[in-house]
Chains A and B, each alone.
Chain A
Amino acid sequence: MSEQLSADIVVIGSGIVGSLAARRLALQGASVLILEAGPRLDRGRVVAAFRNSPIKGNWMSPYPPSPWAPHPIYVPKDNGYLKQAGPYPYPAEYIRAVGGTTWHWAAMAWRLVPNDVRIKSLYGVGVDWPMSYEELDPWYQEAEELIGVAGAPDTGSPRNQPFPMEPVAEPWSMRRFRERLAPAYAVVANTVARNSRSYGGRPACVGNNSCQPICPVNAQYLGINAVEAAEVAGAKVVPNAVVYRIEHDAKGRIAAVHYYDPDKGTHRVTGKTFILAANGIESPKLLLLSASDKYPNGLANSSDMVGRHLMDHPSTSITFYADEELWLGRGPQSPSSINTLRDGAFRSEHAPYRLDFTNISQVLSVTQDLIKEGVYGTEFDKQLRWRAAHQVSVKNVLEVLPDPDNRITLSSEKDAMGIPKPEAHYSIGDYTRRAAEVSKADFARIAELMGGTGLRYSAEGNFANNQHITGTMSMGNDPKSSVVDGFGRTHDHENLFICSTGVMPTAATMNSTLTGIALALRTAGHILPKPANAHAAVSNAEREASLS
C-alpha cells in the first residue's frame, strides 16, 4: 500500500474524452486525478518505433501492450486479449497508454447530422437520443475550439459558429476526385482535428502521411495533447494504475476505486465524484468486474444494459486503378469524403453511410502485392511506380443498429494481472448488409467516372472494422433500457458518470470521437456548471492562445 490518493473528481482513463472532461473540471477549481492503466509514451519514440517496425501496415505495431495493461494485438499474431465469441469477429483495436487510442487516429472530427439522434421517430429503427442536435451544438463548438478542428461547411452538420480553421489544403488526388465525380457526387474536405495553420501552439500539417499510426509533428490533436491540457489546468495523472474495482457504499454511492500498480501492489483512491472514461470496452468490463452483493450484475447495470448494444462502423471497399496519375500519399491520410448519403428516407430500409477516400500512400500495399504476385526483374520498378501512381480506394462507413445481443462480457480467461479479459459478441445485421450492397453501385459509378481498371471489391461478406466503439453504456431517459442519463450520470449511482463514446445510443455514420468529447464536456458542465460568463472567457483565452 502506498499513500492514500484522493480528489474531488477521479477520472478512470486518460483518453481524449476523459482528459478533456478532466481539464474542464480542473479549470473550474476541482481537484482532479486521472488514473491510467497504461504507461506514458513519448511521441518521438513512437515515430522511431514505427520507422523500425517490420509491419508498417499495422498501426498497432509502434504501440506494444504493457504486461500489466494489455490491449488487443492481432499482427503478427493474435495476443488473445479480446476474446471473440462470434458469430462475426469484432477485432477492435485500442491503446492503453496515457492519451489513449487517439495516439493513432485519423483525426476525423465529425459531428452527427441532426436526424441521427431521432432515427426511431423518423425512420422506425434504432433508438432516439435523449437530446436534440441543437442541444449538442455549443458542446461540439467548445470541443472543436479545444482540439482545433478544420472543416468545410457543406457536410450535412449545421453549426452556429464557424469552424476554428479553414479546411486543410486539398491534395491533388482529392481535387481530381472532386472534379471528376461532380456533379454525380459532391466530394468535400473532411472535418478533421488537423491544423491548417498554426493553432493551439501546434504547427500546420506538413504532410507526413502517417496520421495513423502517429502524427510526428503535433499538427494533429491527440489524446496526449488533451492530457497535457488537463495537467496545465491542474489535473494530476497517475500512469500504470490498473483499476480493477469500483467500490460503492451502503447507499450505492461510489466511495473509491482500487487499482494495481505494475507489481500488483494495491491502491485505493477516494473521491467525491467518479468519471469512468476507459473506452467502450474497458469501461463496461470494469463495471461488470465491480459486481457486489448489492449489485450482483455489476455496477450501473440494474438495466442489464452494460456492455450491450456494441456498435462500430463496418466498411466494405473498392480498390482500382484510376486512368490518371494521382499518387496517393501526398498530404494527410484522410482528406475528403462524400457526405450526401448520411441521411434520407432510405434509413427505414438500410443503413446510411459516408463514402471515404483514402490518401494513404499506396507504395507499401502495392509492393506487398507485387511480391505476392512474384514479379521480379526490371518489371518490379515499373509496376511499382505505375500502381503507386494510379491505385486508389474508396470505402463506405456504415451505420449499425443497436442490438442487445452484440455485447461485451467478461471472459473466463484472465490477463497477466488476473483480471478477466473482455469478450466480444458481435454480428452484422441485415440493415447494414443491405447498405453495403447498395453502396456497391456507388463504388462502380465512382470507378467508372475515374476511368477505373482492375476493380477489386472487398470480399463478399467481409467487413473491415473502424475502431469506433460505441453503445456499450448507452444513454437514455429510461433507467430500464439505458445505463446513463442524458448527462452521462449512471442511473444507479448518483456520483458515477461515464464519459465515453460508449454512451452514444446509436453509431450514425461518423467517427465517434468528437461526439464523445462534446458529450463529455456536457457531462463536465453538468457536474460543475460554469458561471454565466466564464464559458466565453475560457474560450476567448483559448482563442488567444491559439493565435499565439
Chain B
Amino acid sequence: MKRMTGRPVPLLALICVFAGLYAGTAAATDSANTELLQRGQYLATAGDCVACHTAPGGKPFAGGLPVPTPIGTIIATNITPSKTAGIGNYTEQQFSDALRRGIRADGKRLYPAMPYTAYAQISDDDVQALYAWFMHGVSPVDTAPTPTRLPFPFNIRLSMAAWNLLFLDSKPFTPDPGKSAEWNRGAYLVRGLEHCSTCHTPRNLLMAEQSSHALAGGEVGTWHAPNITSDANSGIGGWSASDLVAYMKLGHAAGRAQAAGPMAEAVDNSLQHLTATDLQAIATYLKTVPAQHDPADTRAVDTWGAASNELDSLRGVALPSDPNKMSGAQLYDAYCASCHQDSGQGSFDGGLPSLFHNTATGRTHTNNLVMVILDGIDWPADGSGVHMPGFAQTLSDQQVATLGSYLLKHYGNPAAVISADQVKSLRAGGAPSHLVLLARLALIVVLLVLVAIIAMFMRRRRREAIQAEHD
C-alpha cells in the first residue's frame, strides 16, 4: 500500500495564516473564524482527504497520488487553494457541488473514486467549515499533478452523469428523531465524512455500493474490507463499544483485530485524530447497523483457534534444502515465531499480537492474511507505532500458501484456504478487472436500447400524428 508521509499543516500555523489574512477584524469575529477553521480542519481529517489527495512525500493536498481502481488509475487532484493548480477559484457553492454532487467548477463530472456519494450526507454548516479551512488553512501549492486518463468509455466524464442518476442520493443527512443524539452523530460520521461504506460495502457490477448489503464487507484492491455490521459472527456484534473505540484510536483491539493495509491508513490519517465523543458515537451507530451474516462464519471471526505448535516436528530435524518444501511449522518457526511466539500466543503485553482469537486468521476471506504476510504492517508514518516486516521479498508463493494454511489450521478458521495461485495473484496486484470490457459491452447494449427507444418514440409520434389527422 502507498504510505502517506505528508501531514496536515499544524493547526497553529494555519491559525496564524488565517489571522494574518483577516487582521483588523473584531476579536469576536476572529474567535468565530478560528473556531470555524478548527472545525474545518477536524472535518477534513475525519473525511481523510489527505489519504488520496497527497502523494507519498508530497505536499499536503497537492494531489498526485495514483489511485488504482477497477476502471483504471485515477490521479488525485490538487485541492490546495492554489488559483492556478488547485481549487483557489472555487466559490463555496462550487466547492459544495464537487464535494457532495461530484461536479467540478467547470461542470465536468468527478469519478466516484472521490466518495461524493458519502460526502453528499455532509451538512451545509460542515461544508462551510471545510470550505473555510481549505481556502485559508491549507497552503497553496501551484503544481498540478498529471491529469487522469482512463480508457474508453470512462474517459467520457459525462458517463458519470448517468451513473449519478442511478446511484447518487444527494440529500444531506437527516437525523432520525427516534434515536439518540449520539447515534445520529455516529450515523452522520459513518455515512458521511468517514465514508466507511466506500470500502466496507460491497459493490455491484457498475461499482456502485449495494445499499441492501451496507457495510457487509467489500474489496479494496487486494484487500478485503471486512463486515462491520452488528452480526455477532461475521461483524462486530460481539465487540464492546470500547473495543471499537480502541481499534479506531490505536489501530488494534486487544484479542480481536489489528488494522492493516488501507485500514491502518484510515486510522493513521483520520480515525485516531477524532475526539473520544465522536469515536464513541461511531461505535454506538455501528453496533446498530443491521446484521449481515455470512454463513461461512459458524462462530465469531475473532474466536477461532488456540495456542498450539508442532515443535516436536522441528527440533532435531534439519530443514529441507528446497525452501518450497518447508512445512508450515518450519516456515512459522523461521519467519513468525520470533515475534508471535512458538504457539502463536503473542507477547505477554499483547503488543505482538496473538494469532488465534484474531480476525486476521478467523475470516474465510483470506486475502488480508496473505497481504499482511507479503507487505507487513508499518504505521503510523512517524515510525512510532506498529511495524511488522513484510515477506514479499523473502517467501515464495508456495511458502506463503503453506504458511498461511498452517496459520489457519492452528490459529484460525480451518475451513479457510490459501492457494499459491491466490498469493501469486495478490502479489501481482490482484485479479485484473473486467470492468472496462463490461462497460464497453454495456455501452453497446445502451446504444441498441437507445436506438430502440428512438424508434419507438418515432413510431409513437407518427401514430399520434396520424391520430391527430383523424381527430
Contacts and interface: CB of A to CB of B under 8 A. Distances in A.
Interface of A: 42-45, 47-49, 51-52, 197-199, 201-204, 206, 208, 216-218, 544, 546-548
Interface in B346-393: 347, 352, 378, 381-385, 387-389
B333 interface: yes
Contacts of A199: 383
Contacts, number: 67
10 contacts: A42-B323, A45-B334, A48-B314, A48-B334, A52-B316, A203-B387, A203-B389, A208-B338, A547-B381, A548-B57
Interface size class of B (residues with CB under 8 A): 20 to 34
A217 B378 CA distance: 14
Given A42-B394, A44-B335, A217-B339, A197 B384 contact: yes
Contacts of A198: 378, 383-385, 387
Interface of B is mostly: loop
Most buried by A among B3, B323, B338, B388: B338
Nearest to B318: A52
Given A48-B319, A52-B316, A547 B335 contact: no
B349 to A, nearest CB: 10
B88 interface: no
Contacts of B430: none
A52 B319 CA distance: 10
B3 A548 contact: yes
B77 interface: no
Interface string B323-347: 1000000110111001100000001
Contacts of B57: 544, 548
Nearest to B387: A203
Give me the 6 closest cross-chain CB pairs, A-B, nearest first. A44-B334, A198-B383, A216-B338, A203-B387, A48-B334, A198-B387
B207 to A, nearest CB: 30
Given A197-B383, A198-B383, A45 B389 contact: no
A217 B389 contact: yes
B384 A52 contact: no
A51 B333 contact: yes
Contact of B338 (A47, A546, A547): A47
B315 A217 contact: no
A450 to B, nearest CB: 28
Interface of B: 3, 5, 56-57, 314-319, 323, 330-331, 333-335, 338-339, 347, 352, 378, 381-385, 387-389, 394
Contacts of A547: 5, 381-383
Nearest to B347: A206
Contacts of A216: 338-339
A544 B5 contact: yes
A204 B318 CA distance: 30
A244 B409 CA distance: 51
Nearest to A208: B338
B334 A47 contact: yes
Given A49-B319, A52-B315, A548-B56, A204 B394 contact: no
A544 B384 CA distance: 14
Contact of A548 (B314, B323, B381, B385): B381
A203 B388 contact: yes
Contacts of B323: 42, 45
A42 B326 CA distance: 13
A202 B333 contact: no
Contacts of B378: 198, 201, 203, 548
Contacts of B334: 42, 44-45, 47-48
A361 to B, nearest CB: 15
Given A44-B334, A203-B389, A51 B315 contact: yes
Nearest to B4: A548
A154 to B, nearest CB: 25
Contacts of A202: 387, 389
Contacts of A49: 319
Contacts of B387: 198, 202-204
Contacts of A43: 394
Given A47-B338, A201-B378, 9 more contacts: A45-B319, A47-B334, A48-B314, A48-B334, A202-B387, A202-B389, A203-B387, A206-B347, A547-B383
A488 B56 CA distance: 39
Nearest to A46: B334
A206 B352 contact: yes
Contacts of B338: 47, 208, 216-217
A48 B384 contact: no
A217 B331 CA distance: 14
Nearest to B379: A198
A202 B339 CA distance: 14
Nearest to A43: B394
Nearest to B330: A48
A40 to B, nearest CB: 12
B8 to A, nearest CB: 16
A32 to B, nearest CB: 20
Contacts of A544: 5, 57
Nearest to B338: A216
A227 to B, nearest CB: 12
Given A544-B57, A548-B3, A548-B56, A48 B333 contact: yes
Contacts of B383: 197-199, 546-547
Nearest to B383: A198
A45 B323 CA distance: 9
Contacts of A204: 387
Most buried by A among B334, B384, B394: B334
Contacts of B385: 198
B5 A548 contact: yes
Contacts of B314: 48, 51-52
A42 to B, nearest CB: 7
A52 B334 CA distance: 11
A203 B318 CA distance: 29
A417 B300 CA distance: 61
Nearest to B57: A544
A306 B391 CA distance: 43
A84 to B, nearest CB: 31
Most buried by A among B315, B319, B383: B383
A208 B347 CA distance: 11
Nearest to A544: B57
A197 B384 CA distance: 6
A267 B370 CA distance: 42
Contacts of A44: 331, 334-335, 394
Contacts of B394: 42-44
B309 to A, nearest CB: 12
A216 B335 CA distance: 8
A198 B383 CA distance: 5
A216 B331 CA distance: 13
A244 to B, nearest CB: 27
Contacts of B382: 547
Contacts of B384: 197-198
A205 to B, nearest CB: 11
Most buried by B among A197, A204, A548: A548
A206 B3 contact: no
Nearest to A203: B387
Contacts of B389: 202-203, 217-218
Contacts of B317: 52
Most buried by B among A48, A52, A203: A48
Nearest to B395: A44
